[in-house]
Amino acid sequence: MAEATLRVFRGGPEGGGATDYKVEVTPGMVVLDAIHSIQAHQAPDLAVRWNCKAAKCGSCSAEVNGKPRLMCKTRMDSLPLDQPITVYPIKSFPLLKDLVTDVSWNYKVNKKIQPFTPKPNVEWKMYQKDIDRAQEFRKCIECFLCQNVCHVLREHDLHDHFGGPRFFVRSAGLEMHPLDGADRIPMLREELGIGYCNITKCCTEVCPEDIHITDNAIIPLKERVVDRFYDPLTMLFRKFSGK
Amino acid sequence: MTASYETHEYDVLIIGAGGAGLRAAIEALAHGATVGVVCKSLLGKAHTVMAEGGVAAAMANVDPKDNWQVHFRDTMLGGKKLNNWRMAQLHAMEAPDRIRELEQWGALFDRTDKGEILQRAFGGHTYKRLCHVGDRTGLEMIRTLQDRGVQMGFDVFMECTVTKLLRDGDRVAGAFAYWRESGRFVVFKAKSIVIATGGIGKAWKVTSNSWECTGDGMALAYEAGAELMDMECIQFHPTGMVWPPGVRGILVTEAVRGEGGILRNKNGERFMEKYDPKRLELSTRDVVARSIYTEVREGRGSEHGGAYLDISHKPAEYVKRKLPSMYHQFKELADVDITAGPMEVGPTCHYVMGGIKVDGETTATSLPGLFAAGEAAAGMHGANRLGGNSLSDLLVFGRRAGLAAAANAKKVGMPTIDPAQIEQAEREALAPFQLTGGENPYTIHQDLQDTMQNLVGIFRNEEDLNKALIELAKLRERAAHAKVEGSRLFNPGWHLAFDLRAMLAVSEAVTKSAIARKESRGGHARIDYPNYDPVWEKKHNVIVKQGNQMARNEWPSPEIPEELQGILAEDSK
């Protein structure tokens, strides 16, 4: 049976480094299986988040050979086994221990978004063609890989001014809900800082749910912000109406 | 070790943040209670997120003839009449309102041509009854409930594990917990506590359940003096993945069969024609699981010891649209294209119908102030649960639990907790660090899974079950000496030591109950007693702690009122 070496980050906020573990590779094995095997036989205190092991909960995000992935969806036989497989925590959030990071910032950002607010006296009927768009955004499993690769967060650390792709996706799901009556455009501009996004599509590339984050969520929202705040006619109207 | 812990007080404390816990929290908040929710994972990751095929409610959007009476009858017959009739009735009556409510909180279910919520067929349901979102219904539900709860303002204690319920005299008074991240302790004081911690699948080797499903709530309630009921009734879902080994047990939604999937053995025979010619693949789960198991045992299994499930006769685009996550799951994890050929499937431990014994109206347990809802509670599903009835159960009884817990909190004062109880809970929590020379908890967990899989599985007999009791006693002894390495900071080995204690207690309750029920009914199949025994239709196993012993009592089923008996007697369709 083939053997693989996993080079796993061990440590916490004060520091740490990679430790090598040898693991037997079985057919169909995924990286999360290998991590579990290390826990069971070599390092019972190796910290990792996971829940379903079926790519439905989005808990086991990590950087495998430098690429942000769900460990439960990354097959060992898709990786070169002649060199160590590196497994590191996602980078955009503060490290807690080993592969576990502090993602609580995301829950704080989420609270800024006005929840679903039905239009007054709405009739609860919707047609499939009208909800297809919003349903795409509701596939999000909150793995936060998009947040992890977003330059605005990863390189520029603008966590205080920017919401990140995950919350543009959530906002898009609400804004494009056919029966929603709230207006989140000012919030997107001011609080979630959607203007910082320069549509490099890194988020879309890593989405395990294949949500077209940039094309279907961010760009349409940016257009709505622009129409509202930067359209010359609207600006003129706003100036005179005082709105 | 210095005694140090933080303390929080709530009218209502909810343990577990899956569908039932969140729905309970929303209802308790709506009735003015202060609410704390404590959960082992991050918010939104609970096992509900994995539910796929749909949520059952007699909305009659697709089949106009559907109504609560038929749903009630399907549920009772599916549960082989071991159900708490009142729960089955309330569930059938209230489920449609609970779905509409979700829609009004922003959930987007798939639609019919008329713009209503679309419903699909599922095993044991007479009509097309499952409201769904492709095959990710649970995600839609948990996200909707989570957003609603956050908006209404509950406090969430994420990645926090409760190890003990605390008492004030004869009532529940709070809970002792630790933060998984730091290992620091937390004491919750509460007027009411709702247990919504889900099931116990992780005690078996082949399971669809996530790591959290370790029977915590049942064990907490049992240790605190509440009763467990029907613990022998375990559901093995007929279709889990069987190959490759790493994915063994991962759920393959019943929606595959609901959308027309056909089961065949290695000879190409549609074997369900033999076991249930009327309902075929859409027979109840207990029947389909045993049929697949029997085919394998008699040498007609698929290449890797399962059955073939085929949906490839449907157009590829249809399959991808209605079953997107199944399509990806098989493509990415098993190299199988389900639009082109069959998948291999076999039974996987999925659900426990038994649980904490509750009052059908209020979800109150026998311990004052303690309530339970969802999979952690018993009664609703009898001896076998119908697919889709779990998600609706979470909504209906989650709401009822929140309601009753808030009402109770208005009646009683804040309890007091004797510090000695807290000190004892601390000592117990830290004990694994003091041990030297003990075993790694992972090894003990693997042996527990082997024991339950091999001896308390899909078919049972007296000899195996007795052997299991002996093995469980040995495992308990080993677990008492399990050693933990490292520090208290996010230490999965330490966490498992707690989970293991819960799994062992619940596994013992399952095994004891399974020995006593000398008949086969639903999810409890005895090779040595293959038939129904009418006497056992009228009574339940109840497990309760007496001193340090696990005692088993019998509880007679309440008489079903005449008008409901009439509904049960009517022919379906």
DSSP string, B454-520: HHSSSSB-HHHHHHHHHHHHHHHHHHHT----S-STT-HHHHHHHHHHHHHHHHHHHHHHHHH--S-
Per-residue confidence (pLDDT) for residue A243, from 0 to 100: 57
Measured between CB atoms, does A39 come within 8 Å of chain B? Answer: yes
Per-residue confidence (pLDDT) for residue B1, from 0 to 100: 44
Burial B382-396 (b: 16+ CB within 10 A, else e): bbbbbbbbbbbbbbb
> Residue B135 in contact with residue B322, Cβ under 8 Å?
yes
Minimal Cβ distance to A45: which of B103, B246, B492: B492
Minimal Cβ distance to B325: which of A41, A56, A111: A56
> Residue A152 in contact with residue A163, Cβ under 8 Å?
no
Nearest to B87 by CA among B429, B475, B374, B411: B374
Per-residue confidence (pLDDT) for residue B246, from 0 to 100: 86
- Whole-number Å distance between alpha carbons of A104 and A127: 36
3-state secondary structure A126-159: CCHHHHHHHHHHCCCCCCCHHHHHCHHHHCCCCC
* Alpha carbon distances (Å) from B348 to A67, B201, B286, B473: 33, 9, 11, 25
- Whole-number Å distance between alpha carbons of B446 and A237: 70
CB atoms within 10 A of CB A90: 22
Q: With contacts defined as CB-CB under 8 Å, which chain A residues touch B104?
A: 118, 124
Measured between CB atoms, does A54 come within 8 Å of chain B? Answer: yes
B297 is catalytic: no
Per-residue confidence (pLDDT) for residue B573, from 0 to 100: 46
Interface contact flag, A126 B50, Cβ < 8 Å: no
**Mean pLDDT, residues A218-238 taken together:** 87
Per-residue confidence (pLDDT) for residue B434, from 0 to 100: 87
Q: How many CA atoms lie within 13 A of B478 on its CB side?
A: 18
Minimal Cβ distance to A55: which of B42, B133, B329: B329
Measured between CB atoms, does A109 come within 8 Å of chain B? Answer: no
3-state secondary structure of B371: strand
- Whole-number Å distance between alpha carbons of B257 and B244: 22
Per-residue confidence (pLDDT) for residue A31, from 0 to 100: 97
Smallest Cα distance from A58 to chain B, Å: 8
Measured between CB atoms, does B329 come within 8 Å of chain A? Answer: yes
- Considering B73, B257, B381, B460, which one is annotated as catalytic? B257
> Residue A46 in contact with residue A11, Cβ under 8 Å?
no
- Whole-number Å distance between alpha carbons of A99 and A62: 7
Residue contacts between A and B (CB atoms, under 8 Å)? 156
Per-residue confidence (pLDDT) for residue B443, from 0 to 100: 96
Q: What's chain A's average pLDDT?
A: 95
**At CA B556, angle to CA B555 and CA B560, rounded to 5?**
140
- Whole-number Å distance between alpha carbons of B497 and B316: 46
Per-residue confidence (pLDDT) for residue A230, from 0 to 100: 84
CB atoms within 10 A of CB A96: 21
The amino acid sitting at A28 is G
- Residue B19's φ and ψ, nearest 5 degrees, are -55, -45
Per-residue confidence (pLDDT) for residue A241, from 0 to 100: 73
- Residue A14's φ and ψ, nearest 5 degrees, are -80, -15
Measured between CB atoms, does A89 come within 8 Å of chain B? Answer: no
Measured between CB atoms, does A94 come within 8 Å of chain B? Answer: no
Interface contact flag, B181 A142, Cβ < 8 Å: no
Q: With contacts defined as CB-CB under 8 Å, which chain A residues touch B489?
A: 12, 47, 96-97
Q: With contacts defined as CB-CB under 8 Å, which chain B residues touch A98?
A: 490
- Whole-number Å distance between alpha carbons of B289 and B238: 4
- Whole-number Å distance between alpha carbons of A191 and B95: 38
Interface of B with A in 87-146 (CB under 8 A): 100, 103-106, 108, 110-111, 114-116, 133-134, 136, 138-140, 143
- Whole-number Å distance between alpha carbons of A190 and B284: 53
Nearest to B393 by CA among B89, B17, B105: B89
The amino acid sitting at B93 is M
- Whole-number Å distance between alpha carbons of A226 and B126: 52
Four-point Cα dihedral B342, B348, B354, B355, nearest 10: -120
- Whole-number Å distance between alpha carbons of B516 and B529: 11
Minimal Cβ distance to B333: which of A26, A28, A125: A28
Measured between CB atoms, does A240 come within 8 Å of chain B? Answer: no
Interface of A with B in 144-183 (CB under 8 A): 174, 177, 180
3-state secondary structure of B281: helix
Nearest to B238 by CA among B306, B325, B303: B306
Interface of B with A in 141-200 (CB under 8 A): 143, 147-148, 150-151, 158, 181
> Residue B102 in contact with residue B16, Cβ under 8 Å?
no
Interface of A with B in 186-225 (CB under 8 A): none
Interface contact flag, A52 B49, Cβ < 8 Å: yes
Four-point Cα dihedral B240, B242, B245, B250, nearest 10: -10
Say whether pLDDT at A161 is over 70.
Answer: yes
CA dihedral over B98, B99, B100, B101, signed as positive or negative: positive
10 Å CB burial of residue B80 (0-12, 13-18, 19+) is buried
Q: Which residue of A has its CA nearest to B242?
A: A28
3-state secondary structure of B342: coil
- Whole-number Å distance between alpha carbons of B16 and B515: 30
- Considering B47, B237, B290, B501, which one is annotated as catalytic? B237
Q: Which residue of B has its CA nearest to A118?
A: B104
Nearest to B16 by CA among B542, B402, B495, B491: B402
CA B420 and chain centroid, separation? 34
Smallest Cα distance from B494 to chain A, Å: 8
3-state secondary structure of B430: helix
The alpha helices in B181-279, defined as continuous H runs, are 216-223, 255-258, 272-275
- Selected for mutation to probe chain B from A116, A119, A137, A141 (highest B CB count within 10 Å) is A116
Residues forming beta bridges with residue B56, ordered by sequence position:
B130
Q: Which residue of B has its CA nearest to A127?
A: B115
pLDDT digits (tens, 9 = 90+) for A188-223: 999 999 999 999 999 999 999 999 999 999 999 999
The amino acid sitting at B42 is L
Interface contact flag, B106 A115, Cβ < 8 Å: yes
- Whole-number Å distance between alpha carbons of B239 and A178: 36
CB atoms within 10 A of CB A236: 10
Please report, in tens digits, the pLDDT of each residue of chain B (573 residues total): 455 899 999 999 999 999 999 999 999 999 999 999 999 999 999 999 999 999 999 999 999 999 999 999 999 999 999 999 999 999 999 999 999 999 999 999 999 999 999 999 999 999 999 999 999 999 999 999 999 999 999 999 999 999 999 999 999 999 999 999 999 999 999 999 999 999 999 999 999 999 999 999 999 999 999 999 999 999 999 999 999 988 999 999 999 999 999 999 999 999 999 999 999 999 999 999 999 999 999 999 999 999 999 999 999 999 999 999 999 999 999 999 999 999 999 999 999 999 999 999 999 999 999 999 999 999 999 999 999 999 999 999 999 999 999 999 999 999 999 999 999 999 999 999 988 888 999 999 999 999 999 999 999 999 999 999 999 999 999 999 998 989 999 999 999 999 999 999 999 999 999 999 999 999 999 999 999 999 999 999 999 999 999 999 999 999 999 999 999 998 654
Tokens 């595959």 sit at which residue? Answer: B256
- Whole-number Å distance between alpha carbons of B216 and B77: 29
3-state secondary structure of A23: strand
B279 is catalytic: no
> Residue A193 in contact with residue A168, Cβ under 8 Å?
no
Q: With contacts defined as CB-CB under 8 Å, which chain A residues touch B494?
A: 45
* Alpha carbon distances (Å) from B542 to A132, B229, B231, B457, B468: 48, 4, 8, 20, 19
Tokens 């879309």 sit at which residue? Answer: A204
pLDDT confidence band for A242 (50 / 70 / 90): low
Nearest to B543 by CA among B88, B143, B218: B218
Nearest to B332 by CA among B415, B213, B247, B440: B247
Tokens 């319920």 sit at which residue? Answer: B165
* Alpha carbon distances (Å) from B185 to B178, B214, B480: 4, 21, 21
Say whether pLDDT at A240 is over 80.
Answer: no
